[in-house]
Structure 1
Amino acid sequence: MEITPKYMNRLIVSFIFFSLSWIMFSQVTFVTDSFSDHYYGKVYVADTTEILSPGWIAIYKKGTDKELIRVEAEDLAVSYTNNSVEVNVKELPYGEQSVIMYEDFNFDGIKDFAIQDGQNSCYHGPSYQIYLAEKGQFVFSDEFTSLAQNYCGMFGVSSEDKQLYTMTKSGCCWHQFARFDVVQNKPREVYRLEEGIDFSIPQFFNTTIFEWNGKKLVETSSVRNLSVDIKDCLFSFDIPAKKKKVVLFNSDEYITYAFLNEFNEVEYFYPNDKDTASFELTTRNESDTLRFSTKDAQYIIYNTDTKVGIKVITKGKIYDMPGDVYSRESGRMFYLFDYGLVNLRGEDLRKWLPALSD
């Protein structure tokens, strides 16, 4: 086929047209003005075909078109609707969070701006720069911005409580939740809850609370819970008179003892140091006895077909805490030898009677 000059010109025009169309589609500046009667925003996106794109966000005053705020970003996550960008979307902590938020952050009755500056919060989540309304201007706040950078996404706002809320995490197994008052136009942390797995003993789940005491944030409570289902433990029983529970469980091939209250909180556990701790188990036909000692006391768990309990010997006194045999999980303890537990010693002294001949 012979390519004539006329046909070549058509090819060139078509190529230019499609190239311009692609450029126009990829690089877009959106205008959004529905969030305020006094201000509007522009959002420039370098490549709308990408989930994350370089760009910038600017806020202008209506009527004068004066630029009040401009924030550059390497990674904007823009949500589009009806050929525009969404504003004031805040699905905390992991949901959609728009590039512009217009809300009263310092509870002075005047709305402020949060402008997305990239994905710099936890786990490459959206981060924001905060500009507070002040005498007709918007002033950058380093203190408020830190709340939208150092946690997971944008912070929450409770106008009713006049408090700000943050959340952050590390992996699957540690979370932090915090609340802030606003004092002298700055956020002040007044409450923090940290919860997560105790990595030294993964079967424990720790919860620690810090509260403002008028001068500083101090620890006010720390609770350790057993996160393992009782039915999955090696051995357990209730002590009804004390509203307590004795539990033995396998922690990385080490037998571990825990003494729980009625709220499943761990009041005491052993061992603290797996390398120096040991349990001594003696089993007979009619009974099991498990012993372990600390520097302050000796513990004896006794178990027969008709009774179960624990004795604590300390300072020359014996404290006997009988358990409920009907609450007992796993029956006898001789099978503990089958687990190959590193810190379990002892003897299986059960004697087997010869079978009767016919």
Structure 2
Amino acid sequence: MKLKISLLLFLCAVFYNANAQKAYIINDFMKGYTLYFAQQTLNSEIKEYYKLTDNESKKTVLEYGAKELSSLPISKTAKTTAFKNIADKNIRVLGDVNFDGRPDIIIFDTEILDEGCYSPQATASIFINTSNGFISSPGISSVYNNANCLRGGSFEIDPKYKRIITSSSGGAALHGVEYYSVTGTEAKMLSSFEEDGFAQGPFSKITGKRLENNKYVSFTSLSLYETGLKENKLVAFDTKNGKGRVIVFKADNILYYAFQQNDEYQFVSFAHPSHPEKAEKAIFKFRKQNTDNELEFNSGNIKYIIYETPNSIGIKININGKISDWQGVGKEGTLSSLTNAKFINLVRE
């Protein structure tokens, strides 16, 4: 008798696992909407169905997945629950991906695919929140899937500059990055570049292309991660005119100057020197007069003087006798740290 009961329980468990069904009604997924979610597992195949309803108009604004799950008896067993209580959901609020003030939705397929990706992944579909409901965006979905198809891939929504930024890793110090603008349900690539950190010296080399006048133009630049400088940063400040940030730092026995642009890329537009091999020709002159300090260097016919007083800091740029004074704010460190410092490209006057 016990054997028969055990066998019966086993067969019921097998049947249950092979034909598991569940359905939920969720009121806290997104403000102003009700989400119906149903899932069915049949012989290891998982089917899902999502329906989002506007609470005010009672209209269905998003429908995705196996629609038959909305009419089967499973729908009558739907339980009202909090979204956080559902462990294996494949839907979430992505954020405002097209910067129109409305949150958008992403849904992941249940099937894991390997289409030349670094590792198998679930394909994602992104739905844009419009006045007429949520509309699927194949273009933005493709950007998301392509980013996460690569090792270290990421998809970032940048609300400050209204950009989508994707990145991937090609090794310990090689990174690929792409910037996109988004209008409605369409994404347009603005730039694509690689950051090569294998180059000798404190800067990483940037090589890529960006959109200018509806054409992609090749460009090169440098990048610098200030957080990695730690005690090697000697003085730094932002320019009051908003153009960028001045950073004076050391690496080994060489003194460096970098001007980091104040834009979405934050590349280093000018470095002195740009490479260790150029250090001996990139001379700095340090002057100390009572409580005032100056650090001077030349690049071609342009003279730069970083000045520091007890109450101010800034940089003067002299181009053929025309001087621009870029005052600084938010000073970190001090030029007085150069008083007794020894670098192969530093002299004192």
Q: How high is the TM-score relative to the length of structure 1?
A: 0.46
- Structure showing greater radius of gyration is 1
Bigger proportion of residues as helix: 2
